[in-house]
Amino acid sequence: QVQLVESGGGLVQAGGSLRLSCAASGSTISTSFSTYGLGWFRQAPGKEREFVAAISSSGGSTYYAHSVKERFVISRDNAKNTMSLQMNSLSPEDTAVYYCAARRGLFLYSRTTSMAYDYWGQGTQVTVSS
């Protein structure tokens, strides 16, 4: 079993920045984390969960939703079993619960789809005020 825990959410004014973190744990996480594809998703009230960003197992490739491209930066530290999402130029439209997710092995679905992932965190609230 793999556990994911998000942190760093909170209230920020429009135009501000926030950095989210995702920490992974488990009995074999030290050897397995570096093999997981990782992603961030978000869900606002009344809306479907949507893809935000993803990063390959080595960190060599990143993927972003059009709505956050050039504003958000995803990264990972395989030595610390963590993943981060740096969010800049935030707007009220970014308000949502943000979830981190991990996929073991090959992706059977697109990494932009929630069905592709095996493990999920509980989420952290991000609220952007105007």
**pLDDT tens readout for residues 52-79:** 999 999 999 999 999 999 999 999 999 9
Neighbours of 34 (CB within 10 A): 14
DSSP 54: E
Contact (CB, 8 A) for 55 and 93: no
- Per-residue pLDDT of 69-111, as tens digits, reads 999 999 999 999 999 999 999 999 999 999 999 999 888 899 9
Question: CA separation (Å) from 74 to 6, 32, 46?
Answer: 14, 20, 26
3-state secondary structure of 9: coil
Alpha-carbon distance of 31 to 36, in angstroms, equals 10
- Per-residue pLDDT of 10-64, as tens digits, reads 999 999 999 999 999 999 999 999 999 999 999 999 999 999 999 999 999 999 9
